[in-house]
Each structure stands twice: as C-alpha cells, then as structure tokens.
Amino acid sequence: MYNPFPSVPSGSYKQRLAEGLRNIGEDKFANEFECGNVKLAIAATITGSVNVIRGVKEVCLNALNSLVEDDAVRYYRWGLENGQFVVASSSGAFVYDKDDAKAAQFAHKMSMQGTINFFNT
C-alpha cells in the first residue's frame, strides 16, 4: 500500500510524537523518542541492529490523535495503522532518508568503517 498523504521530511515525527505522548501522560516514552533511543522506522527498509518494539503502536496512535491534525499527523498515523512504520529501538544505528544524498553518503561511509548500523526512513 502507498501512503496517500504527502511525504514529510525524515524525522519530522519526533517532536510532534513526543508532544502527543506528553499529552497522554507518556513522558518517559516521549523522552525516549526525543533522545533517539526509540524511532519510527519504515518497516520495509530496516537493516542492521534494529529491534521492533511490539505493543506500543496503539500508544503512538493515541498520541498522534491528541494533536491538532495536519498532513504530518495524517501521514504518520496512516503509516502506523497500515504497517508502513514500526516503533523500533536501535543501538548505534543511524536513521536517514534514502533520498537525502548527503545522509546516504554518510551512512555508507560509516557502515563501511563498521562504526554504525543503519536504516532508511
């Protein structure tokens, strides 16, 4: 399935989702998103040391539903509801937009050095 909402910049969920999580009383979980320990990952592009966190999709959907709706909220909500995105944690992983040439070049360089694992968003 293709997400029918306009694509948003990679990582743009972080601040909005943290705000929504705080709205529903999930401060610790919000902090994990803000510091990068927990991320939304595009399920089809995960490689490297990424652990999908099961059972928190509904919490994230509730958080998104607590926000003023805009294209970013619709995009990420649809992605979570339809399996495009999963909640994941990554140890030493770098998240990047595969269409961002500089980020892709950095990820390639670091993976060749064995410094990081990575996944696309």
- Give the E-state strand segments of the chain in sequence order: 38-42, 50-52, 85-90, 93-96, 117-120
Tell me, yes or no, whether 65 lies in a domain: yes
Total domain count for the chain? 1
pLDDT tens-place string over residues 14-73: 999 999 999 999 999 999 999 888 889 888 877 666 788 888 999 999 999 999 999 999
pLDDT of residue 103: 66
Tell me, yes or no, whether 59 lies in a domain: yes
Range of the domain at 21: 13-92
Tell me, yes or no, whether 2 lies in a domain: no
pLDDT of residue 60: 97
Tell me, yes or no, whether 97 lies in a domain: no
Angle at 108 between CA 72 and CA 48, to 5 degrees: 70
Tell me, yes or no, whether 4 lies in a domain: no
Tell me, yes or no, whether 100 lies in a domain: no
Name residue 6's amino acid: P
CA gyration radius for the chain? 14
pLDDT of residue 91: 58
Tell me, yes or no, whether 107 lies in a domain: no
Tell me, yes or no, whether 110 lies in a domain: no
pLDDT tens-place string over residues 88-115: 886 545 555 666 677 667 666 655 555 4
